[in-house]
Structures are given as C-alpha cells and as structure tokens.
Amino acid sequence: MCVLELPRDSLLLQAGQDSKSIYLVEQGLLRLFYTTPEGKERNKAFYGSGDITGAVSAAMTGGPAPFSIQALAPSVLIQADFQGLSQHAPQFPQFSRLVIKLLSEAFMRNEQREALLLTCNAEQRYRWLLEHQPELVQLIPQFHIASYLGVDAVSLSRLKRKLEDGTDSGIAPGTCP
C-alpha cells in the first residue's frame, strides 16, 4: 500500500493501461469516464472522501482499464494491490469483508445507474441526483453533470432553468429507482 497525492485535473489512470490497484479516497474528488472513438468523454461515476474505487475488472484480471480516472480536485488516495488483498483475504477476515464491500458497492452503484439511465427521463435523472447526491451539483462543473446524466450541457441548463422557474412537468420527484 502507498499514499498518492494527485493535483487537480491529473489522470490517475488512462483507459487501456493495465491496472492492478484499487484506491481509497482519503480526500478529494475523482471522476471515472469513458472516451468514445470520436474522443467524446462520458462520465461513469464520481467518488469522494471515504469511497473505494478503481478499475475493478482490470484489477481482478490484471488487464487494461476500460475507463480513465481523473482528479477533479486535489486528492489523496491510498493505493492497494487488489490481487494482494485477495490473496490475504482467507487469512484476514477484514480483507474478505473489504473485498466483498468493494464488489457489492460497485455492483449496486452500477445497477442503480443503469436503472436510472434506462428507465428515467432527463428531468427524473436530474431530480434523483438533487435528492441523492446534491453535493455533486455544487462541486462538479455543469458539463460533467450533463455527461453523467446522459444529456448535453445546453439541455441541462434548460432543465435547471425550468425547475428554478417552477414550471411543473407533472413528474413527481422520486418516481425513479
């Protein structure tokens, strides 16, 4: 294990790089994102203090990371070798619990995000974000929020204006997963 300090906007991991590590975010804010063949970035997730993250599939297989990880704020991370943790899991129950926690949280987070993207419209997704992760709206630039919600920045701006003006769409908050 080692401690990493990342300046704002620096890349922790570039898509395509082999990755064997997972990271505990001691402080800061990270974004995980995919890049399309045309070079467009699509935000997958955001992780902050106390979260465990990394390219888990790559760490499990020792293969290439399918996405990149960037620091959106100066960040301090504790880096650990996933295979090393896994090897010690049988002898140390706390490692087993950590691995199970990491995988469970990743699975639930991905399942919830998938449900939002597949079953909710843009307004519902934005309302969900405001209800469940309001700090992200304050900390992250609008263009990153738009990408995370699957809309363009102009559409998000219109949506925010509509909600601020009190225009009722007839969509009740909380009607999405």
pLDDT digits (tens, 9 = 90+) for 6-24: 999 999 999 999 999 999 9
69-109 pLDDT, tens digit each: 999 999 999 998 888 877 877 888 887 787 788 778 888 98
Domain residue spans in the chain?
2-119, 120-177
CATH node for 2-119: 2.60.120.10
102-139 pLDDT, tens digit each: 778 888 988 998 999 999 999 999 999 999 899 999 99
**Cβ neighbour number for residue 16 with a 10 Å cutoff:** 14
DSSP state of 128: H
**pTM value?**
0.85
Statement: residue 177 has pLDDT above 90: no
* Beta-ladder partners of 141: none
Please compute the mean of the pLDDT values over residues 60-67 and round it to a whole number.
Answer: 91
End-to-end CA distance of the chain: 37
The dihedral built from the CA positions of residue 73, 79, 81 and 82, taken in this order, carries a sign that is negative
The CA distance from 160 to 16, in Å, is: 35
The CA distance from 23 to 77, in Å, is: 6
Q: Residue 176 — pLDDT band, cuts 50, 70, 90?
A: low
